[in-house]
Amino acid sequence: MSIYFMPMNQNASVKKFLPLILATAIFMQMLDSTILNTSLPSIAKDLHESPLNMQNAIISYVLTLALFMPVSGFLADKFGTRKVFITSLIIFSLGSLLCALSQNLNHLVLSRVIQGVGGSLMTPVGRLALIKTFKKNELMKAMNYAIIPALIGPILGPLVGGYMVDYLSWHWIFLINLPIGLLGLLLSLKYMPDYRSQTISFDLKGFLIFASASLLLSISLEMFGATQPTTLILLIFTLGFLMIYYYYVHAKKTENPIFPLNLFQVRTFRVGILGNLATRLGISSIPLLLPLMIQIAYGQSAVISGWIVAPMALTAMLGKSFVIKILDRFGYRRTLMTNTFIIGFLIACLGIPGINTSLFWFVPIIAILGFFNSIQFTSMNTIAIADLRDSHTSSGNSLLAVNQQLAVGFGIAIGLIILKLFEDSLSITSGKIHFAFRYTFFLVGILTICTGFVFRRLHSTDGNNMKSQV
């Protein structure tokens, strides 16, 4: 069993600033995952590359995240959360600087890999420190503040990227990370606690197997986004799942696997992981599908589409003020089921406006959606770790991070698959792209509503230990 200690004194200052430290890490990672999308044509022109080749700059980052996230828990246990987090922050900031200084595509791809190494450790280790620092009944409030950047990053990324490219230069989409990283570094040097395990062992074979599975699944998702041959995508996707099964066989025979199978004997963790994966399939596709529809079907600019989606970030911040009260009153089971149904209904509502309807019709829907997304993410993330023992916190937290990363990729891929199917179904859409988008929102909304039943497996009393003290 792992024994954790914290050399620095536990005090009010650490609890006050630790959520902010994690928030800076999440914000940089989420912003960097999305801000590049609107800037690729400008970067391609400056580097004298085809815009199609620029996809490598995105893929290299995503694949690095998938490869190194599984090892974040082990590194934190061995070297301490403080040292690993600060190192990852420096690596990420250095990668950002190198991206801005890149003179060609190869330099940019290599710099994105360096960024990915830092990003793969930064958020999981920061969240692990948060889980270890706060008591169960304090964790909800702390996590609630730290999770906001995960909600606003995908929304603000394309908008900020569009403005920076139009009015400054593409270099600033990477340079913006430097002051944020410096703030996180200064706070971490003073307030980041140092947890580590006295008893550690590293399952190298298990890591290689699981990392291979994550890598193959991520490659298949990115290849779909780049419209590669379907047979090849399905082959790589199937290999990814076969590697997951191989890991299952390996873990049954290994004394200390990197992700112990008895993690899944904890019902709240099992439901939290599955719920994260299932509900994010619909939620993750919206920041991509709605701006695409506004630009392609309505013929508006990227900046206009960014402003239409922006209210989601504001209401997400508002939602954090209510989530604790809602969970204290209704419990996790009722909250997560009802909240998922509401989110699915709102996604379906995005398909109601016709081609001649004012774009402002989308604003109240997307604003309300941001509010309920805030409740959803905070609730899912905290119920997943509610009943984990201390010895399983590191591995459980790492697996949750990997699961979320893959869930976002799956969500985007599934949204694009459904859109493509409707686009090719001339008998349904009559060749009108707007109808393809509308029907996609309807179907994604219905699927999201169905995922709400995953949370029926929770008991009405689950998560009571996470409730705040009155």
Q: How far apart are CA 70 and CA 441, in angstroms?
A: 33
Instruction: Please check whether residues 229 and 373 belong to one and the same domain.
Output: no
Instruction: Please check whether residues 305 and 452 belong to one and the same domain.
Output: yes
Residues 6+ apart with CB under 8 A from 78: 196, 197, 200, 202
- Asked if the structure places residue 349 within a domain, the reply is yes
- Asked if the structure places residue 269 within a domain, the reply is yes
Q: How many CB atoms sit inside 10 A of residue 241's CB?
A: 13
Q: How far apart are CA 202 and CA 207, in angstroms?
A: 8
Instruction: Please check whether residues 330 and 436 belong to one and the same domain.
Output: yes
Which range marks the domain in which residue 173 is found? 10-192
Instruction: Please check whether residues 221 and 278 belong to one and the same domain.
Output: no
Instruction: Please check whether residues 249 and 394 belong to one and the same domain.
Output: no
For 303-343, the pLDDT digits (tens) are 777 788 778 877 887 887 788 888 888 888 999 999 999 99
Segment 64-74 mean pLDDT: 81
Mark which of 172, 192, 212 sits at the end of a domain.
192
Q: pLDDT band at residue 227, thresholds of 50, 70 and 90?
A: low
Q: How far apart are CA 297 and CA 246, in angstroms?
A: 44
Instruction: Please check whether residues 129 and 269 belong to one and the same domain.
Output: no
Does residue 3 carry a pLDDT above 50? no
Instruction: Please check whether residues 138 and 172 belong to one and the same domain.
Output: yes
Q: How many CB atoms sit inside 10 A of residue 221's CB?
A: 25
Instruction: Please check whether residues 435 and 457 belong to one and the same domain.
Output: yes
Look up the CATH number of the domain holding residue 467: 1.20.1250.20
Does residue 405 carry a pLDDT above 80? no
Instruction: Please check whether residues 160 and 246 belong to one and the same domain.
Output: no
Report pLDDT for 16: 78
> Is pTM, for the whole model, over 0.85?
no
Total of domains in the chain: 3
Q: Which two three-digit tokens encode residue 15?
A: 């609890």
Mark which of 257, 276, 302 sits at the end of a domain.
257
- Asked if the structure places residue 251 within a domain, the reply is yes
For 319-328, the pLDDT digits (tens) are 877 888 888 8
Average of per-residue pLDDT values in the chain: 81
Block residue for tokens 């509401």: 342
Instruction: Please check whether residues 213 and 131 belong to one and the same domain.
Output: no
Q: pLDDT band at residue 93, thresholds of 50, 70 and 90?
A: very high
Report pLDDT for 225: 57
- Asked if the structure places residue 461 within a domain, the reply is yes
Residues 6+ apart with CB under 8 A from 109: 56, 57, 60
Percentage of the chain lying above the pLDDT 70 cut: 86
